[in-house]
């Protein structure tokens, strides 16, 4: 792994969502210096958005699919 144990932090939270089902959320944080070593820090030009946003239908499809059970085992 390219990071040391003190450069990465992750947290997990779970609760009942607006639909009444349990949901879990992960929060992953990596130190800025660790990202900079890999060329991924936001200060670097390669991390900036360089093209147009995808069309509206693409966003709508992604939001629809985010709530589906595709790819989830046991659902």
Amino acid 12: pLDDT: 92
CA pair distance 41, 62, nearest whole angstrom: 26
Amino acid 75: pLDDT: 42
Q: Is the pLDDT score of 68 beyond 80?
A: no
Residues β-bridged to residue 26: 12
- Residues 39-67 have a mean pLDDT of 77
Amino acid 45: pLDDT: 67
Quote the pTM value.
0.44
Q: Is the pLDDT score of 50 beyond 50?
A: yes
Between 38 and 25, the more confident residue is: 25
CA pair distance 53, 26, nearest whole angstrom: 26
**Backbone phi and psi for residue 29, each to the nearest 5 degrees, phi listed first:** -125, 135
């Amino acid at each position: 792994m390219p990071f040391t144990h003190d450069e990465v932090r992750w947290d997990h939270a779970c609760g009942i969502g607006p639909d009444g089902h349990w949901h879990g959320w992960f929060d992953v944080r990596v130190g800025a210096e660790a990202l900079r070593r890999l060329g991924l820090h936001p200060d670097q030009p390669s991390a900036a958005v360089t093209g147009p946003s995808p069309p509206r239908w693409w966003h709508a499809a992604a939001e629809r699919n985010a709530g589906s059970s595709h790819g989830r085992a046991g659902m």
